[in-house]
Chains A and B, each alone.
Chain A
Amino acid sequence: GAGVSQSPRYKVAKRGRDVALRCDSISGHVTLYWYRQTLGQGSEVLTYSQSDAQRDKSGRPSGRFSAERPERSVSTLKIQRTEQGDSAVYLCASSFSDGGTGGYTFGSGTRLTVV
């Protein structure tokens, strides 16, 4: 595709439930990141994966957050036992490089509200 696509755009979850957020990255991009963006606090990386790794490397916070990469250009962020503090915008970004600093493309995000 032409860009990074995330779904759903909005998600409301009851506290304690598990949620799954999807990211379709750009074909050919090898590194995929999940960031959490909170108003006034910027964005923090949650997890990322490189190349064909199916399991992501956890960033912060760990434990309840994990990501699967069933296909090279698809990732699913899973949040277990959601808490109200998990309410935020979750951004997916992909990069054409395995390392290095160039070529990040972000999706439009999924806004998660935990009630």
Chain B
Amino acid sequence: QQQVKQSPQSLIVQKGGISIINCAYENTAFDYFPWYQQFPGKGPALLIAIRPDVSEKKEGRFTISFNKSAKQFSLHIMDSQPGDSATYFCAASIEETSGSRLTFGEGTQLTVNP
């Protein structure tokens, strides 16, 4: 059962354009939604994260939009750059005392053309 669904699987954007990646979740108990960026041969690195008490969070060129009622959240990359080319994973977890495990989406391979 895939609890976090991510789309698209791949995305090609021109330099300066906006990259948009979408995720939908099923478990309403999730209370933490991070996005990870992964370059080839490297592990995922936390990019930006949001909690469900806010609808938007912005850090530089990266923005998360969160829609609690629709159980959806998305990553927007403004002014996309070739250096942003990587695989992006959305994730969700529940804050709990027994260790919070991330449930990942399938990943989106982003290519930003110069």
Contacts and interface: CB of A to CB of B under 8 A. Distances in A.
B72 to A, nearest CB: 17
B95 A41 contact: no
Contacts, number: 66
Given A42-B6, A42-B107, A33 B101 contact: yes
B104 interface: yes
B38 to A, nearest CB: 8
A59 B32 CA distance: 20
A59 B44 contact: no
Interface string B86-97: 000100010111
Given A93-B43, A106-B44, A108-B42, A45 B102 contact: yes
Among all A-B residue pairs, the 9 with the closest Cβ atoms? A106-B43, A101-B32, A42-B104, A99-B97, A43-B104, A42-B106, A45-B101, A108-B43, A101-B95
Given A42-B4, A45-B101, A99-B100, 11 more contacts: A33-B101, A33-B102, A40-B9, A41-B106, A42-B6, A42-B105, A42-B107, A91-B43, A101-B93, A101-B95, A106-B43
